Structure 1
């Protein structure tokens, strides 16, 4: 990569800090397994003037989803489950489902529905939703606070509670960003007989050397854990009623008083915290088709399967009304992350087959097997829709690739 052109990326990071869009950020880029750039700017904690460093720990939120998807595929590889299995086979409460009728104006306008499959949960085609999505179901979930937050109790209980809501649509009909991969986390617990945290530690984090990643901030991290900010008034994830505030970096979760210090909920959809080097190890494992050093975490064919589009077309063609961490036009969805189908339609430079995802605190990663490229970007601003940082980052990275 051209180091002179990478200077534009560093300047871009600094502009975001100078303009008080991000308190701070870090970016790590590797090509062919070799580090070509690490750069950090700004602060992880404005109140105490603490720098955003390489060892800063952050909330990765929905970048947890690819990790949970890898865990599920480990169980598939071992012959313990198949993706067309019904979620009700593992969580009985999902055996009595209903779905909203098309055009429903209230939560009680429903019709009988089958239970979603595990594949539909992984690809956000199950009919489940999120509280910040528009519509009848999103409103009901917001009232019920069905979010899988770090301080919301046990996964077993919230997964069962999720089944008491109707689906937004019949499974397989549409795409809608959802808590589906949180439910997958509970399925992993049922099949493996281990907590999700224990499964992750034993099967993914320890083999990959991800010593600073977990649902709770690693012991002894202290003020290395970044604080979280928002430019919005009120709830930072209430996207349908978002109002910009007078303060662009309002503190909403301080490092020293965060539920992530001792998380109760093991949210496979959005509960992990960790370091940039840890997540790069995970991203590199995907780029290398399941391999890390001498270990094969997943078979190459399994990773290929995950990183291909599992939808009939792009996301936009499935009529989503929801928030998403990536563009919808020209973008497909694999297992746990998005897949570039046509860079022209995403209106952002990239390769066909790029795989990646982001988190609500504006974190982002992608891997590009054609270019032997892995990129991880960390910051802590919610919501991630506040600025077009991801498209800008991809443009800056690709502008520095001259071969």
Structure 2
């Protein structure tokens, strides 16, 4: 796959009906035309051949700057699969076992307490009966959470420390981990699923185990080999801020107007204009569609790329299987946090969710289709059954504003005729 987004394959050659592929852009464009989405870029590939690139609207509505193929996007939680791949590269080298307590490298997590009752001001806690293990970070079963959930007294403790949609000014990765370790866990490690800062802690673990800052590890071990030249923690020095799409947040529509509209979030968006102190393995990267497509294609190919291999195919297969006990879905095993897509019929592996029951999921999809998305409504998925990769980019918070990810699966799958 090349470094750009040039479609060089007739979709019919790989089983797509070109006319039906056109439905993808038409449906997405309706959100742009209705004033609900600033702009978008979408890619569809099969058997490693790019068959569709659609883009419409603006990366900066107010200044009339269109979405370009080389537009940079804050991919937020689409950073998590990169961090998970990095961790499993170290695992393949024998750096740790999946059952190892993380306190071996991060001693601040040596004696976690678990919330059982009380308020955020006066929590009642008990000692953890099980240490937080590496596998708990990879599967979001650690008991760590996010401040932005607004679901639990522990979330409020995170917010009180400055952890909601950002982190305390000047605090580096080591410091934010120490802060999280000082707060009770939501539950006993391994007993439930909850989306939280687990992958950020995993990023810190990678730093300690490898002896490298996370940005250097990513650059040397993942981005340079894959040719991902435009992916980094925030913009690099000297890079054009105008190349980065403006960040927007949904606002309630006025009576008689569009159901939702959006407004710039420039203060929050400016965090990506330079390299931050806290290298967030859970959400800190900016990237382009072409760059991230190289990473997604690495996954589809079982860890190999044109010049070599980052992971073994069995490792990728292990990462993308359901690791929730008893093959449970997130809806059953997890906490009721916000999510754009249904969590029924969806399991979780190492950095990815995957469809385990398409009928229960309620979306046209295949068993084993694995995915993740970002807070600003970006998303990707890999369908191993059909050998497809799909990626989508925009900059609209929160990701639950529009049901983009469900529509994408239906629109792509309806275009498959062979």
- TM-score normalised over the length of structure 2: 0.90
Please list the CA deviations of residues 237-272 of structure 1 after superposition, one character each: whole Å capped at 9, or x if unmatched.
xxxxxxxx9972110027994444232220000110
Q: Could you tell which deviates more after superposition, 104-113 or 272-281?
A: 104-113
Quick one: distance in 2 between partners of 1:166 and 1:230? Answer: 31
Tell me if structure 2 keeps the 8 A contact 1:148–1:267: no
Q: Does 1:21 align with 2:36?
A: yes
Deviation at residue 189 of structure 1 after TM alignment: 0.2
**Structure 1 vs Structure 2 CA RMSD:** 1.9
| 8 A Cα contact 1:148 1:265, kept in partner | no
Residue 172 of structure 2 corresponds to residue 182 of structure 1 = no
Q: Which residue of 1 aligns with 2:131?
A: 115
| Residue 141 of structure 2: aligned partner | 125
SS in 2 for 1:248: strand
CA distance in 1, matches of 2:412, 2:359: 17
The separation in 1 between residues aligned to 2:52 and 2:245, in whole angstroms, is 21
Secondary structure of the structure 2 residue equivalent to 1:204: helix
Change over 3 Å in CA distance of 1:259–1:290 after alignment to 2: closer
1:221 aligns with 2:236: no
Alignment CA distance shift 1:163-1:366 (3 Å): same
Q: Distance in 2 between matches of 1:262 and 1:54?
A: 23
* 2:219 match: 201
Structure-2 change in CA distance of 1:225 and 1:65 (3 Å): same
Q: Is 1:357 aligned with 2:377? A: no
Whole-Å Cα distance in 2 between the matches of residues 176 and 345 of structure 1? Answer: 20
Distance (whole Å) between structure 2 residues aligned to residue 173 and residue 254 of structure 1: 37
Tell me the distance in 2 between the aligned counterparts of 1:365 and 1:66. Answer: 11
- Counterpart of 1:373 in structure 2 is 388
Deviation at 1:49?
0.2
Q: Does 1:291 align with 2:309?
A: no
Aligned residue in 2 for 1:344: 359
Aligned partners of 1:175 and 1:333: how far apart in 2?
9
* Residue 137 (structure 1) aligns with: 154
The answer to whether structure 1 residue 10 and structure 2 residue 29 are counterparts is: no
Are the counterparts in 2 of residues 228 and 254 from structure 1 also a CA contact under 8 Å? no
CA shift digits 1:331-360 (9 cap, x unpaired) = 000100101101111111111001110000
The aligned counterpart of 2:172 is 154
1:152 offset after TM fit, Å?
5.0
Partner of 1:272: 285
State the partner residue of 2:345: 330
Shift of residue 327 of structure 1? 2.4
Between stretches 220-229 and 194-203, larger displacement belongs to: 220-229
In structure 2, list runs of 5 or more residues that go unmatched. Answer: 1-15, 253-257
Residue 294 of structure 1 deviates from its aligned partner by: 3.2
Which residue in 2 is equivalent to 1:397?
A: 412
Relative to the length of structure 1, the TM-score reads 0.93
| 3-state DSSP of counterpart to 2:392 | strand
Deviation at 1:70, TM superposition (A): 0.2
Q: CA deviation at 1:105?
A: 4.5
Inter-CA distance 257–183: structure 2 relative to 1 (3 Å threshold): closer
Q: Describe the superposition over 1:61-101 as per-residue Cα deviations: whole angstroms up to 9, x where unpaired.
A: 00000000000000000001111111111111111210011
**Contact 2:340 / 2:402 at 8 angstroms: preserved in 1?**
no
2:74–2:272 CA contact under 8 A, matched in 1: no
C-alpha contact 1:149 1:271 (8 A) present in aligned 2: no
SS of the counterpart of 2:397?
coil
